[in-house]
Amino acid sequence: MCHLSKTTLTGLFVTLLLSSCVVSKKQFDELLTEKVKLEADIQEMSAKIDKLETAIDSLETSLQDVTASRDQVEAELQAKKNALSDLQAEHDKLQGYYDNAINNSSRLNRDLAEQHNRLLALQKTLEQAEYDNNLLADSLALREEKVAELEHILAETQKAVQTLKGRVKQALKNFGSHELTVVERNGRIYVSLSEQLLFKSGSATVDPKGKKALAQLAEAINKSPEIHIMVEGHTDNVPLSRKSKYMEDNWDLSVMRATSIVKLLIKNGVNPANLTAAGRSEYMPVAPNNSPANKALNRRTEIVLTPDLSALFEVLGQDQ
């Protein structure tokens, strides 16, 4: 995970934005390196979710295998019980012959002793089979409990995501689809806000209408304090027309816009520890940069809301 906390990273960006000192190349490179690490964390979280889903599939497959093994053992156990019953009946019959022909029973005695030994051996085998069956039943119960627990947590997480999605859409219902969209992908909520709603061209200062939208979004987010929030700035591929010592290219613009939005969310009560600001520049477009309309689609800010998966990780950790 990152060695630099989200709050410290935000502080660094705020210092860069507000300070009158010139930022050295070394400082800029360090900040850029930290940004890349944050992006890696997002990819790692997605990989962990994939791993969780794979682990559940594996547990369900294992559960099916154990169930099949248990059924086979129970069938073998029943067969041995039937054989034991047959042997017991034969033993009783031979015992009757023995009682009636004690004076001429050498062969019968041998048969009786052999049958008695077979009976003892079968009883021992039956006891071992019953013991193995009990162990298998215990293992099956534990696996069923683990799968049920994981499925419950996943269902609760999905329910929380749907509730959050509905709450966010309700909070932002007064804004048009050309200004923002709210979608769910891979268990996350993506709130995509257009440049038109938030910023003037080339600026990292949020417009009043954008502040209103962010305030309403923050109110919805604050009802789910356990979620993690990634704010990603995106641009088109048009170079900046107005540069400054703090904003030389689209990388700077995307990062500064993300930081501006993070600060507004904090101002509206969002926990800073749950926030991360990241700049994507022009390198994650949603459309080819081959027309004014498509470029407008790419000039956006995405706020990614991710549920807390610590309960899932805890259950999987107990299984290891």
Q: What is the pLDDT of residues 33-84, one digit of tens each?
A: 988 888 888 788 888 888 888 888 888 888 888 888 888 888 988 999 999 8
Whether the Cβ atoms of residue 259 and residue 16 lie closer than 8 Å to each other: no
User: Dihedral (C-alpha) 92, 96, 101, 102: value to the nearest 10 degrees?
Assistant: 70
Q: Where are the domains of the chain?
A: 6-53+162-307, 59-159
Residue 276 has pLDDT above 50, yes or no: yes
pLDDT, mean of residues 135-146: 78
Indicate the CATH number of 6-53+162-307 among 3.30.1330.60, 3.30.200.20, 3.90.950.20, 3.40.50.920: 3.30.1330.60
Q: Give the DSSP letter string of 76-141.
A: HHHHHHHHHHHHHHHHHHHHHHHHH-GGG-HHHHHHHHHHHHHHHHHHHHHHHHHHHHHHHHHHHH
At how many degrees (to 10) do helices 310-319 and 25-100 cross?
40
pLDDT, mean of residues 296-307: 95
Residue 6 has pLDDT above 60, yes or no: no
Report pTM: 0.54
Q: What is the pLDDT of residues 224-265, one digit of tens each?
A: 888 999 999 999 999 998 888 889 999 999 999 999 999 999
DSSP β-bridge partners for residue 45: none
pLDDT, mean of residues 174-188: 91
Q: What is the pLDDT of residues 191-218, one digit of tens each?
A: 999 999 999 989 999 999 999 999 999 9
Amino acid in the structure at residue 320: Q
